[in-house]
Amino acid sequence: MNWRTRWKVILASLANLLALSYIVYLTGQNFLFFVFFFIPVALCGWHLGRLSVFCMAVLSGMSWCVLDILSNHGYPSELFRGVNTLICFLAFATIGLLVQGLRQSLQEQLRVRRELEKSLEETRRAAEEVRHLQSQMQVVCAWTKRINVEGRWVALDEFLTDQLNAKVTYGVSPEAMRDVLDNAQQAETPVAA
């Protein structure tokens, strides 16, 4: 998110908090507007980070406390006002962090979904290629063991890597090893005259 958008969110949250505070001030304690203080905190939680959630929760808690003082709400002790303010701050911060966590979870789900769709598309293409190769008869040279691919004769390892995306390594089969050893023994054996 660029700085301009961040500032727009911050200003919208502050404007919302100021408007809400003014409405609460005008209505006094006749209406319970506590729930609406979650809006600016949730905006920061959805669009910005934890620091902005914390700052907006502090501002919302302070605003609620000032409005409580201005409305002459009577408490048996000022300690109750402090505890209520702390509870408001904790509620605002909790909601903001929950909204932020929800946003991060949704973004992670979207990222995983895009990766899954990409993997599924690659799998679909690979299966299509395999079906295409399976549907065609492969012509193999009886002497060189090369495969005819679209009029071009390619080695088996080239066919496997290019057409099937297989990794090829080389080894010697037991039969080939026996043939090599038999040929070597025959070459070493003197010919009788």
Identify the three-state secondary structure at position 2.
Answer: coil
| pLDDT, tens digit, 9 for 90 and up, residues 50-105 | 888 898 899 888 888 888 888 777 778 888 888 888 888 898 899 999 999 999 99
Instruction: Note whether 147 and 88 are same-domain residues.
Output: no
Dihedral sign for Cα 37, 42, 47, 51, please: positive
Co-location of 98 and 155 in the same domain: no
SS3 for 142?
Answer: coil
Per the CB < 8 A criterion, the answer to whether 41 and 56 are in contact is yes
SS3 content of the chain, % helix, strand, coil (to 5): 75, 5, 20
CA atoms in the 13 A half-sphere facing the CB of 128: 6
6-16 pLDDT per residue, tens: 888 888 888 88
Lowest-confidence range among 112-121, 136-145, 171-180?
136-145
* Same domain membership, residue 167 and residue 114: no
146 in the same domain as 79 = no
CA distance 34 to 36: 6
Domain that holds residue 8: 3-120
The CA distances from residue 19 to 12, 23, 51, 79, 141, in Å, are 10, 6, 23, 28, 84
- Pair 92, 181 in one domain: no
Predicted structure pTM score: 0.58
Which of 64, 85, 120 represents a domain boundary (last residue)?
120
Indicate the number of domains in the chain: 2
**Is the same domain home to 74 and 146?**
no
Give the pLDDT band of residue 38 (cuts 50, 70, 90): confident
